[in-house]
Copies of this chain bind each other. A is one copy, B any other.
Amino acid sequence: MHPPRISIKDIAHAAGVSHSTVSRALAGSSLISAETRERIQALAEQMGYIPDAVAQSLQTRSTRTVGLVVTSIADPFFAAIVEGAEETAIAAGMSVFINVSHNDPEAELALIETLHRRRVDGIILAASRLGMRHTQALARVQVPVVMVNRQPDEHDPADFHSIAVDDRGGARLAVEYLLSLGHRRIGYLGMGNRFESNRSRLEGYRAALAGAGIQPPDAWIQTCPAEDASGRGDVAAAETVFPALLAAGVTAVFCYNDQAAVGGLLACRKLRVGVPEGCSLAGFDDIDLARYVEPPLTTVHQPRREMGRQAMQMVLDLLAGKRVENRVLSPTLVIRSSAGKPGEANCPLPLLSAEEKTFRFMEMTE
């Protein structure tokens, strides 16, 4: 019932030549006379021939395929990276295997091995922290590896490369802006499941405060527990943790990412704390969501799609034998309305006294 798949042999038979001639003709080799080349190409077209990439890969030892590992796709940050990477891959005639690790190191290890089995030509990782076993597994694949938003380690293998945004600098940018608005009591809302970048952003936060001669007490720094690794519960986790910051008496909070900031926003709404009048908020990433909430989020912009593109381009360059340099992009601050001067006026929600905040906080967490 199925019309049989046709191969170059079938075409060779139909054209009365050998299959090698067909192969060369379709590859546009100049070894073949123009006449037969065109004849064969026309024939192939007409017979509906579609080359078998599997067989080609086996022979040429290149699959024109790259593996992409992300922690989540539902997280718009990674979604944009995937889009950017896919886009430049397709343009270069490559295909991409998508893999999501759910922030599970074991799963990630298994995914890397699968990619190895499939003989991908390159790997892009936009995922969790890598342990020694991961590094070894990756090195064994003997293929270019590009990490997104992970600073390279000094004893990484030579074929490890990276493209990252300056987390530390971005955080400084945001916190210095809050300082410039007059805030002195500034909190940090972190994400426990984003080890490296969370650490970097926390550092940037500390550096900015230190620059203003401020030493934040522990209570100003709250971190969402790491257990919720799906990346989908970011908002809810932040909403739960946020009241502790209000209770600590901060007038502004710099949040690990926009999801966390939205969580803070929801918490404020529930507690009837006005934003930015009662508490200023700054996020990170500049996902679409940041523009749509009320008030729109002041946040640190990352060129996420561009990072995906560049990561893939690095893989392509490495495959082409070019030398590439690790890149770290500078984020920019997008000023919207979620951060204002401390205690600014005309606030539809009543400003709460410290006691009231504490009271409501206890109400929420019980």
Contacts and interface: CB of A to CB of B under 8 A. Distances in A.
Contacts of A225: none
Interface residues of A, number: 53
Contact of A53 (B80, B96, B118, B232): B118
Interface stretch (A44-52, A249-257, A313-321): A44-52
Contacts of A113: 50
Contacts of A96: 97-98
A117 B96 CA distance: 14
A54 B50 contact: no
A2 interface: yes
A2 B53 contact: no
Contact of A79 (B73, B99, B119, B140): B73
A5 B116 CA distance: 11
Given A74-B80, A87-B100, A96-B98, A58 B50 contact: no
Given A53-B119, A289-B292, A293-B293, A97 B97 contact: yes
Contacts of A74: 76, 79-80, 83, 288, 305
Contact of A86 (B58, B99, B116, B262): B99
Interface in A94-125: 95-100, 111, 113-114, 116-119
Interface string A79-93: 110110011001000
Determine which residue in A74, A113, A114, A291 has the highest number of CB atoms from chain B within 10 A of its CB, and name it: A74
Contact of A50 (B5, B116, B288, B291): B116
A76 B2 CA distance: 38
A344 interface: no
A83 to B, nearest CB: 5
A109 to B, nearest CB: 13
Interface in A164-205: none
Contact of A117 (B53, B73, B82): B53
A135 interface: no
Interface in A22-39: none
Contacts of A289: 288-289, 292
A356 interface: no
Given A96-B97, A294-B269, A54 B52 contact: no
A11 interface: no
Contacts of A262: 292
A348 interface: yes
Contact of A52 (B72, B90, B117, B348): B117
Given A54-B57, A74-B76, A235-B291, 7 more contacts: A68-B98, A74-B80, A76-B79, A82-B98, A95-B99, A265-B292, A266-B292
19 contacts: A50-B113, A52-B119, A54-B54, A54-B118, A73-B73, A73-B80, A73-B82, A73-B86, A74-B79, A74-B288, A74-B305, A87-B100, A90-B111, A97-B98, A98-B98, A235-B292, A262-B292, A269-B294, A294-B294
Q: Which 5 residue pairs spanning A and B have beta carbons closest together? A: A98-B98, A294-B294, A53-B117, A53-B118, A73-B83
